[in-house]
Amino acid sequence: IDVIFTGLKSMDSAAIIQFGTLLLIFTPIMRVVFSVFSFLIEKDYLYVLIGLFVLCVILFSLSNKLVG
């Protein structure tokens, strides 16, 4: 990730594409995180559990892709 940000400073085209890919991965993750917090505020604990489960599935699948 540090290489991507360093490449962005020098306007490297590969770094820009990789940064865009990171943003595409990061967007649904943040959407789930924000929805969990909004359900916590509404005290809708069933949907908090469902959101946490979805977040765990996403993070588990990402960790498997990154490791192997």
Q: How far apart are CA 68 and CA 62, in angstroms?
A: 10
Q: Which domain holds residue 6?
A: 2-67
16-62, pLDDT tens digit by residue? Answer: 999 999 899 899 999 999 999 999 999 999 999 999 999 999 989 88
Burial class (CB in 10 A: 0-12, 13-18, 19+), 15: middle
Report the number of distinct structural domains present in the chain.
1
pTM: 0.74
What per-residue confidence (pLDDT) applies to 27?
Answer: 94
